[in-house]
Structure 1
Amino acid sequence: MTGGGRAGARAALVTAAVLGAALVVVIVVRTPWEVLPEPPGGYTDPDPTAGLDPRQIALAEAFATAMRPLSLISITLGLAVSAVLGLTPLGGRLMRAAAAPLRRRWFAQVLLGVPALVVVGRLVTLPVSVYAEVIRHRYGLSTRGWGLWLRDVAVSLAISAALTTLVVLVFLWLVRRAPRSWWAWAGAAVAGLVVIGSFLYPVVIEPAFNEFEPLPAGELRSELLALAEENGTPVQDVLVSNASRRTTTLNAYVSGFGSTRRIVVYDTVLAELPDAEIEAIVAHELGHVVAQDVLTGTLMGALGAGAATALAGWLLSSPRLLRRAGAESAGDPRVVPLLLFLVAVGTLLATPVQNVVSRQIEARADVRALELTGDPETFIGMQRRLAAGNLGDPDPPAAWHWFFGSHPTVAERIAMARDWQRSEGP
C-alpha cells in the first residue's frame, strides 16, 4: 500500500470512529430511557401470563417454539452463503459470469451480477421460508394462497435486487472516480439514500404489497382524525389496508410525512376490535409521530450508514482481504460479494442495539397512547387481544427478547399501563 493509500485508510478509520461516536451520542440523547416516573409503591412486576387464557398462552408458546429455530436457521444460512461468496473468489466469479454476454464491463457486472447474488442468497433460504409459511397457515395466521405467496416473494426480491444494485452502482462509481476519498463521498451518498428511502417508502413500497382505500365516513373515522388533531399531528387521510388477503394478524400504523401522512388500519382490525381499542392502537402510533421517532430513526440510520461506509473504506484498503475475495482493488466489481458480506455481519451485530432503542421508543408511544385516550383498561384489553390474535408470546426467553425483541412484551406493556394508572390516580 502506498503512503497516500495508508493515509486514506487511516482517515477512513478516524471518520468511522467519529461518526460512530456521533451515533452513540444520538442514541443516548434521543432514546427515552425513562418513559414513566416510578409510581407510588414502585413499579409493577409484569405478570408472565399477561392475564391471557391458558389455552392462548399454550398456543402462542407452541407457535413461537416452531418459528424460532427457523429464524435462526435462516440467519445462519444467509450469513454462511454470504461468507462463502464474499470471502472466496466464488462471488467474484459469479459477478463476472453474469456479465459475460456484455464483455464483463464493470457496470454490466453490477447490473447483472448483483441481482444474481441477491437471488442466490434468497434461494438458499427459500425452503425455510416455505416451511415458515406452512406453520403460519397451520396456526391460522396466514390466509395467502401459494400463488400470492410466490408473488410477494418475487416482488420483495425484485425490490431488494433493484435497491441493492442502485447502491452498489453509486458505490463503485465513486470508488473509481475518487480512489483515495471514495469512502467519504460514498458515506454521504448512502446516508442520503437512507433519508430519501424514509420519505419514499409509504408511497412506493407499501402499495406494492397492499391496496388501500379511505375509511368510510363515520364515528370511528371522526374519532381517529380528532385524536391526530389532539396529538398536534394532523393526518391527510385514514386508510384501510386489505391485509386480510395475506394474514389474520391485527395492526395499524401511521406513515408518511406532511402531505403524505396517513393513518392505516388493517381490515382485520376493523373486523375484530371494538372502536375504542382501535383508537388505542392508533393513539400509540400517533405517539411515534409526535415524538418524531421516524426522523430520529432516519438520523440514526444515516449516521450508522456513514460510519459503516467509512469503516468499509478502511477494511477494503487491506490487500489481504481483497485477495481473499479475488478482487484487485476496492473499485473491482468482484469486491461486491465481500461488501455484501460485511453489510450482513454489521446488520446482525447492530440488531440487539437497534432493538434496545426500539423497545424504549415503543414504551414511550404506549405512554402517549394512555395520555391521549385516558383509558388504561381499554389499552390493556387491546394489548391482550393483539397478543391473542397475533399469537404473541407474553413471556419469551430473556436472551431471545434481548436480541430480537423490537417491542416490550405484552406482560411489560400491561404492567406499565397499571403503573400509569396509579401515577395518574383514579
Structure 2
Amino acid sequence: MTPRWWAACALGVLVAGLVVYAAAAIPWHRPPAPRADQVAALGQLPADKVARAREFHSALRPASYGGMAVGLVAALLLGLTPLGSRLVTLVGRPFADHWIARAVLGGLVIVLVVEVLTLPFAAWRHTIVVRYGISTQGWGAWAVDLAKSYAVGAVLGGLALLGFFTVTRLAPRWWWAFGAAGAAALVVLLSFVLPVVVEPIFNKFTPMAAGPLRTELMQVAARDGVPVKDVLVADASRRTKAVNAYVSGFGPTRRIVVYDTMLTEATPDEVVSVAAHELGHAKRHDVLTGTIIGALGAAVSVIALYLLGSLGWLLRWAGVDAMGEPRAIALLLALVTLAGLAGGPVQALVSRRIEARADAHALELTRDPATFEAMQRRLGAVNLSDPDPPAWEYVMSASHPSTVERMAAARAYARGER
C-alpha cells in the first residue's frame, strides 16, 4: 500500500473521530430561548442604545468585511498563481536559496504581504471603535499592540514553518503522518502556553485586592468544584472600555481574570454572574474540548493538504512541484484561508452552543436570573453589542448567543422552564 493510500485511510479515521467526539462533547440539542421572550426583551431595551449599537455595527461592517475580502483575494492571488512561489524564491536568493530561508523568511514575507494589504482596514476599524468610545487607545498604543501581535505571530509562525518543512524534507513520502502528529501536539502545547506566556505581553495582571468580592468569587469557584489558584485584575482600561471576565489556564495555572473596567461598570453581583458563566466553561472542560477538536482538526488539515498535492493542476496553478516544498507556502496559506472561511459558520455554531450551556450553568450556580439578565443588559450596552443581529451575520460569525437570547434564557429559567 502506498503512503497516499495510508494517508486517505488516516484522514477517514481522524474525520470520523472528530465527528464522533464533537457529537458527544458539544451540546447540539439545547433548546433555543423562547422567541416571544426575545421579542419582549428587545422591546424593553432603551431604544437609543439599541439604535447606537446597530449604528456602530453598520459603521464597522465595511471595514471588517472589506479587510476580509482583500485578505482572501490576496491569499488566492499569491497561492493560486505563481506569484507566491516566485516571492518565496526571491526571498531565499540572498541566502543561497537555502531551504530554511525559503521556509521561514519566505513564509513570513507571504503573511506580511497579506497583513500590509489589510492594514488600512484594521486602521479604519480602529477609528470607528475610537469614535464610538469603545477603544481608549491612541495611535501610538494601537501600533505597539499591533507590533506585539505581529511579533508573537512571527515567532510562532516561524517555528511552525521550520518544523513543518523540516519534516517534509526528512520524510518526503511520509511527512503527512509526522506533520499531522506535530500539528496536533502544537495545538495542545499552545493551549497550555498561551495563557501563561502570551497574555502578559498584552495585559498587566495584578491580584484582586482582598475583600468581599474576591472572597465571594473564590467561594463560588469552590462551591462549583472548580479549583482556582487566584483572582486577577487585567488592566483592560488602557485599551478599551469594554467589560469582560474569563477563566484562564489549566489545573494549577487556572485563574479568574476580571477586567478592571468591569469593576467600575458592574455591580459585585453582576461580576459574580459573569464569573459563574466562565466557571461553567472550566466545569465542563470546554477549553480541553476545544483543544481536542483543534488538535484533530489540525491533523486532518495536514493530511488533506498532502492529498491535495496529488492534484497536478493545482500545483501547476501555484507554479510548484510538490505541496511539501517551501515554494508552496502561499498555496498552503490560500487553502487554509478558504478552509477557515468555509468552516467559520460551523465554528460559530459550536461556540454558541457551548456559550449557551455556560449561561445555563451560571443560572444554576447563582440561582439569580434577575442579576444575570441585568448583566447581559449591561454587557450589551457597554460593549455596543447588537442585541438582535441580522440572521446572516449571526449564522456566519456570532460566537455567543445574542443579548436578547441570553435575557430570554434568564426569563425562561425564572419560570422554571429550563
Normalization by structure 2: what TM-score? 0.96
Q: What amino acid sits opposite 1:337 in the alignment? A: A
1:305 aligns to what?
298
2: CA distance between counterparts of 1:317 and 1:8?
A: 12
1:119 aligns to what?
112
Q: Which of 22, 35, 46 does residue 38 from structure 2 map onto? A: 46
Which shows bigger deviation, 260-269 or 160-169? Answer: 160-169
2:158 aligns to what?
165
1:13 aligns with 2:5: no
Q: Secondary structure at the match of 2:10?
A: helix
2:17 aligns to what?
22
Distance 1:239 1:82, change over 3 A: same
State the aligned residue count. 417
1: CA distance between counterparts of 2:306 and 2:6?
A: 9
- Hey, which bits of structure 1, 4+ residues long, moved more than 3 A? 34-38, 42-45
1: CA distance between counterparts of 2:136 and 2:145?
A: 13
- Aligned 8 A contact 1:91 1:337 in 2: yes
Q: Secondary structure at the match of 1:10?
A: helix
- Aligned 8 A contact 1:115 1:162 in 2: no
2:127 aligns to what?
134
Q: What amino acid sits opposite 1:363 in the alignment? A: A
Write out per-residue CA displacement over residues 199-255 of structure 1, whole angstroms, 9 at most, x where no aligned residue. 011111111111110100000000000111011112111000000000000000000
Write out per-residue CA displacement over residues 358-387 of structure 1, whole angstroms, 9 at most, x where no aligned residue. 111101100111111110000000000000
Deviation at 1:36, TM superposition (A): 6.2
1:175 aligns to what?
168
Deviation at 1:17, TM superposition (A): 2.6
- Aligned 8 A contact 2:84 2:318 in 1: yes
Write out per-residue CA displacement over residues 143-196 of structure 1, whole angstroms, 9 at most, x where no aligned residue. 001011011111111211222222121111111111221111101100110000
Q: Which of 360, 377, 381 does residue 374 from structure 2 map onto? A: 381
1:199 aligns to what?
192
- Aligned 8 A contact 1:50 1:410 in 2: no
Which shows bigger deviation, 327-336 or 44-53? Answer: 44-53
2: CA distance between counterparts of 1:361 and 1:394?
A: 19
2:203 aligns to what?
210
Deviation at 1:70, TM superposition (A): 1.9
1: CA distance between counterparts of 2:13 and 2:133?
A: 48
2:343 aligns to what?
350
2: CA distance between counterparts of 1:49 and 1:424?
A: 20
1: CA distance between counterparts of 2:103 and 2:273?
A: 47
2:91 aligns to what?
98
Q: Which of 244, 250, 253 does residue 246 from structure 2 map onto? A: 253
- Aligned 8 A contact 1:255 1:263 in 2: yes
- Aligned 8 A contact 2:305 2:323 in 1: no
- Aligned 8 A contact 1:387 1:393 in 2: yes
Distance 1:147 1:252, change over 3 A: same
Which shows bigger deviation, 216-225 or 342-351? Answer: 342-351
Structure 1 residue runs of 5 or longer lacking an equivalent are none
CA RMSD of aligned residues (A): 1.7
2:411 aligns to what?
418
Write out per-residue CA displacement over residues 46-104 of structure 1, whole angstroms, 9 at most, x where no aligned residue. 12626310000000000011112222111111111111111111111211222222111
2: CA distance between counterparts of 1:284 and 1:373?
A: 10
1:77 aligns to what?
70
2: CA distance between counterparts of 1:148 and 1:201?
A: 22
2: CA distance between counterparts of 1:310 and 1:206?
A: 31
2: CA distance between counterparts of 1:278 and 1:51?
A: 23
- Aligned 8 A contact 1:142 1:248 in 2: yes
- Aligned 8 A contact 2:82 2:319 in 1: yes
Q: What amino acid sits opposite 1:17 in the alignment? A: G
Distance 1:280 1:50, change over 3 A: farther
- Aligned 8 A contact 1:50 1:384 in 2: no
2: CA distance between counterparts of 1:174 and 1:199?
A: 24
1:236 aligns to what?
229
Q: What amino acid sits opposite 1:28 in the alignment? A: A
1: CA distance between counterparts of 2:114 and 2:9?
A: 33
Write out per-residue CA displacement over residues 258-313 of structure 1, whole angstroms, 9 at most, x where no aligned residue. 11101100000001111000000000000000000000000110111111111111
Deviation at 1:329, TM superposition (A): 2.1
Structure 2 residue runs of 5 or longer lacking an equivalent are none
Deviation at 1:401, TM superposition (A): 0.1
1:189 aligns to what?
182
1: CA distance between counterparts of 2:367 and 2:324?
A: 58
Q: Secondary structure at the match of 1:205?
A: helix
Q: What amino acid sits opposite 1:201 in the alignment? A: L
Deviation at 1:402, TM superposition (A): 0.7
1:287 aligns with 2:280: yes
2: CA distance between counterparts of 1:138 and 1:264?
A: 27
2: CA distance between counterparts of 1:344 and 1:297?
A: 20
Which shows bigger deviation, 244-253 or 343-352? Answer: 343-352
2: CA distance between counterparts of 1:99 and 1:88?
A: 19
Q: What amino acid sits opposite 2:260 in the alignment? A: D
Deviation at 1:28, TM superposition (A): 1.2
